[in-house]
């Protein structure tokens, strides 16, 4: 079983739609959680951290459920420019902190 799992998609949605991605993690020593965005042929970049109480940044909302060991990302009012791959990232306390990247979920927003 992979340490961080995501549905690879692709998710095809129209502009203005709301779309949600889930990510599950297997290690209960996971301490920090992030969502990254990767544009085509570019490196991944931090989109937002995920806090225990949930957090929002504009149209993006991140949630953490420690009991069920999953995190989610909700995108409201999708824009064409939201088309990208979204990666779930977990930092696990293994003595030192190891960063583990999910394989990503592809999103296509269409006019």
Partner 1 sequence: DGGITQSPKYLFRKEGQNVTLSCEQNLNHDAMYWYRQDPGQGLRLIYYSQIVNDFQKGDIAEGYSVSREKKESFPLTVTSAQKNPTAFYLCASSWAGKGNTEAFFGQGTRLTVV
Binding residues for partner 1, rule: CB under 8 A, are 6, 8, 31-32, 34, 41-46, 49, 85, 87, 89, 91, 93, 96-104, 106
The residue among 76 and 91 lying less far from partner 1, judged by its C-beta, is 91
Task: Work out how close the CB of 46 gets to partner 1 at its nearest, in angstroms, rounded to a whole number.
Answer: 5
Task: Work out how close the CB of 61 gets to partner 1 at its nearest, in angstroms, rounded to a whole number.
Answer: 19
Alpha carbon 108 to its chain centroid, in Å, reads 15
Task: Work out how close the CB of 51 gets to partner 1 at its nearest, in angstroms, rounded to a whole number.
Answer: 10
Asked whether the beta carbons of 86 and 36 are under 8 A apart, the reply is yes
Gap between the Cα atoms of 61 and 71, Å rounded: 11
Asked whether the beta carbons of 101 and 4 are under 8 A apart, the reply is yes
Taking alpha carbons only, the member of 110, 109, 104 closest to residue 45 is: 104
The residue among 18 and 31 lying less far from partner 1, judged by its C-beta, is 31
């Amino acid at each position: 079983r992979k340490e961080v799992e995501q549905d690879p998609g692709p998710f095809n949605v129209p502009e203005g739609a709301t779309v949600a991605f889930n990510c599950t993690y297997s290690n209960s020593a996971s301490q920090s959680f992030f969502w990254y965005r990767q544009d085509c042929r570019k490196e991944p970049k931090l989109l937002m951290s995920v806090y225990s109480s949930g957090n929002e940044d504009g149209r993006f909302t991140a949630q953490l459920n420690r009991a069920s060991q999953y995190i989610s990302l909700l995108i409201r009012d999708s824009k064409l420019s939201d088309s990208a791959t979204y990666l779930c990232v977990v930092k696990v306390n293994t003595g030192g902190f190891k960063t583990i990247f999910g394989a990503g979920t592809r999103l296509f927003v269409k006019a």
